[in-house]
Amino acid sequence: MPPKPHRVLLDRVSGYADEAAAYMRRRRVARRPFARLYYPGGRASDHAADSLAGGELFVAAGRLIEVAGKRPKP
């Protein structure tokens, strides 16, 4: 016996909703702040904002932005 038409539609909509929820979870994870350092030779390393190195990098970057903002404009 084939499934009822409304069940097929409900399953399809439910599948789309599951995919959308998974996409939003991935997007939230990917949008966490981090600091990325690039080294000679193409190597890079990522540091989360809540790690020790990441926290120090965020402080240093904030200071650099402050100094750059105080520079007189030509």
Predicted confidence pLDDT, tens digits, the chain (74 residues): 666 666 777 777 788 788 888 887 777 666 778 888 899 998 999 888 889 999 999 999 889 888 887 766 66
End-to-end CA distance of the chain: 80
pTM of the model: 0.50
And the tokens for 47? 């540091």
- Print the domain residue range for 8: 1-31
55 and 21: one domain? no
Distance separating alpha carbons of residues 14 and 17, to the nearest angstrom? 5
Q: Structural domain tally of the chain?
A: 2
Distance separating alpha carbons of residues 46 and 23, to the nearest angstrom? 22
Do 49 and 34 contact (CB within 8 A), yes or no? yes
74 and 42: one domain? yes
Rg of the chain over Cα atoms, rounded to whole angstroms, equals 23
51 and 73: one domain? yes
